[in-house]
Amino acid sequence: MTEKEIIIEKLKESGCRITKQRELLLDVMLQKGFNCHKEVYITAHAIDKTIGLATVYRFVNKLQEVGVVSEKGLFRVACCAQKCPFNDSCMIEFDNGKVYELTGEEFVNILYNGLRISGKIEDDEQIMNIFMKKCDE
């Protein structure tokens, strides 16, 4: 099951109909992270002129309700790596040119162990979601 399919399933379970506009908004949001509703609107409206800003606000709010979008100012559809079936979902590039590819599960395990060793979390705490802002180019 893809990330999109998982999110659509969560939306349907919450009683949300998946219209063509909502599917387009989801596709747009899955492509990259957004910092605000207006960025989502501008990108989606360029593809479908019938999409209004209110539609974007309502859809983002619905995604927040079902727990797949961060409310912390970064609109990035997120699905915890432990629950998603993606391989090689994370690439880490170092200044010497080395690149490491990690599965989502490997990334979560490395992050969890680092947080635990540094004393940031207790042994019994589990990562539910990870929200990252995109890197500045």
The residue among 77 and 131 whose pLDDT is bigger is 131
Cα separations in angstroms, 55 against 3, 9, 50, 67, 109:
22, 20, 10, 18, 37
Q: What tens digit of pLDDT does each residue of 103-136 get?
A: 777 877 888 888 889 999 887 887 776 766 555 5
At residue 15 the predicted structure's pLDDT band, cuts being 50, 70 and 90, is very high
**pLDDT score of 74 more than 60:** no
Angle at 22 between CA 17 and CA 28, to 5 degrees: 150
What is the average per-residue pLDDT within 12-20? 94
Q: What domains are defined for the chain?
A: 3-65 (1.10.10.10), 80-137 (no CATH)
SS3 112: helix
